[in-house]
Amino acid sequence: MAGSRVTLWLATGNRHKLEEARAALEPLGVAVEPLEAEKLEIQSESLEEIALFAARIAYASNPRPAVAVEDAGLFVKALNGFPGPYSSYTYKTLGVEGLLKLLEGVEDRRACFRSAVALVGPGYEKVFTGEACGFIAESPKGSQGFGFDPVFIPEGEERSFAEMSLEEKNRYSHRAKALRAAAEWLIERAEGLRGGAARRV
């Protein structure tokens, strides 16, 4: 089935995202290629809106069969969703220490990582989402991953994202879930275009 290979062009300047996407999608037979595109992010509380806007622009300047933009954020319940869509700026300025300081003395440490993957190609636009819920640790642990990974512990685990291998993290990860949903849609679409729908009968 070499001819059936599906490729997704991911517009990102973050090499961790590219690695995570490859680890999540290669088992599905979907190749991930980096796309050198301008990534214009709007301010919005909706990751879906941010990802879709950016994917439209990336596609307009770099048309490919499947251009993807992923946007993610950490939503902390006791902080009214902060830092949410601005997680990367918050990480850069306040760091993990700042987030922990905001939660000092706060009992409810529930938080969700959320991801939106917007997919734009010739004649279509789709947005897929993924979520990983859990809680914010009392102190950072581990050195894998990036951003707030050292303080995020998914439900049912005792280790932080930063203490997991990429394969383990991708079992829980918001980003892997959204990317897999996008990849599955692309595979179905490729089969449909090829008339392969018949094999489902």
Single out the residue of 104, 107, 198, 201 in contact with its own copies (rule: CB under 8 A).
104
Q: What secondary structure letter does DSSP report for 94?
A: T
Binding residues for its own copies, total number by CB under 8 A: 23
Closest CB to its own copies among residues 86, 146: 86
Query: What count of Cα atoms within 13 Å lies in the side-chain half-sphere of residue 92?
Result: 4
Secondary structure letter of residue 46 according to DSSP: -
CB of 120 to its own copies, least distance (A): 18
From 23-31, 100-108, 124-132, 190-198, span contacting its own copies (CB under 8 A): 100-108
In whole angstroms, what is the distance from residue 183 CA to residue 136 CA?
A: 30
Beta-carbon neighbour count of residue 80 at 10 Å?
8
* CA gap 149, 134 in Å, rounded: 12
Q: Does 42 help bind its own copies (rule: CB under 8 A)?
A: yes
Told to judge if 149 belongs to the known catalytic residues of this protein, a careful annotator would answer no
| Secondary structure (3-state) at 142 | coil
| Residue 98 makes contact with its own copies by CB under 8 A | yes
Q: Rule CB under 8 A: choose which of 7, 19, 94, 133 binds its own copies.
A: 94
**Rounded distance, CA 163 to CA 159, Å?**
6
For residue 114 the two structure tokens come to 């959320």
Shortest Å, Cβ 10 to its own copies: 18
Catalytic amino acids?
Answer: 71
- Residues of this chain that interact with its own copies (CB under 8 A) are 40-43, 45, 50, 79-86, 89-90, 92-94, 98, 101-102, 104
